[in-house]
Amino acid sequence: MIISAGQNIEGYKISEYKEIVFGFANSSEGAGYRQVALKKMTENASKLGANAIINFKMEIYPVSGSVQEATAYGNAVIADSIDGITRVESQTQPKINLEAYTRKPKTDDSPIGQIHDINGYKFVVCPKCNTKYKVETDEQGHVHIKGFDDVDDDEPGLQVFCLRCGTKFTVPER
């Protein structure tokens, strides 16, 4: 099985596109779980009669606690060698640096703004320059600041940029 992260394979032309194939494995299966996900993906491609996978990707997501799930996927295709020479298919695992596919630990958690109650209104205070922003809470208990969007989808809760100093901070829900 030829595996390429790109759209093409050098020396080959894609003669048939099969479908997107997946392979799942999680870290409770052991340290080699990325390799297991890759193997399952290639097995699914083989079942379709494919001999190659292009647009290969692997994503790692936390499932629960310290358990990570690896999803390997790509387009299963039939690739024919351009020069007509049939290459002997390697029996070894494809050389892909699976260690590169690791979710990076978060290191840049935003500072949290303090909430102040002033005359029955809630304000959040920028942790750097103390500028106050009026906070509204919806029925689900989520906080909003009028005219502000969440600027960081990776961090839980609402993150905003301070208009005055540009600091990104989290607006706590309490």
Tell me if 129 contacts Zn ion by CB under 5 A: yes
Tell me if 77 contacts Zn ion by CB under 5 A: no
How open is the CA angle 107-68-76, to the nearest 5 degrees?
A: 115
CB-based burial label for 69 (10 Å; 0-12, 13-18, 19+): middle
Q: List residues bridging with 75 in a β-sheet.
A: 20, 54
Tell me if 128 contacts Zn ion by CB under 5 A: yes
CB of 18 to Zn ion, least distance (A): 53
Single residue of 45, 126, 143, 171 touching Zn ion by CB under 5 A: 126
| Cβ-contact 61, 68 below 8 angstroms | yes
CB of 41 or CB of 126, closer to Zn ion: 126
Residue labelled with tokens 């997501």 = 61
CB of 2 or CB of 126, closer to Zn ion: 126
For 121-173, strand residue ranges (E) read 121-125, 132-137, 143-144, 158-161, 168-171
CB of 133 to Zn ion, least distance (A): 9
Print burial letters for 31-67: b (CB count within 10 Å at least 16), e (below 16): eebbbbbbbbbbebbeeeebbbbbebebebeeeeeee
CB of 114 to Zn ion, least distance (A): 12
CB of 51 or CB of 131, closer to Zn ion: 131
CB of 174 to Zn ion, least distance (A): 20
Tell me if 111 contacts Zn ion by CB under 5 A: no
CB of 166 to Zn ion, least distance (A): 7
Q: Which H/E stretch holds residue 60?
A: strand 52-64
Site for Zn ion in 131-160 (CB under 5 A): 131
What is the spatial distance between Cα 80 and Cα 70, in angstroms, rounded to a whole number?
30
User: What track of x and - describes contact with Zn ion for positions 155 through 174 (by CB under 5 A)?
Assistant: -------x-xx-x-------
Binding residues (CB under 5 A) for Zn ion: these are 126, 128-129, 131, 162, 164-165, 167
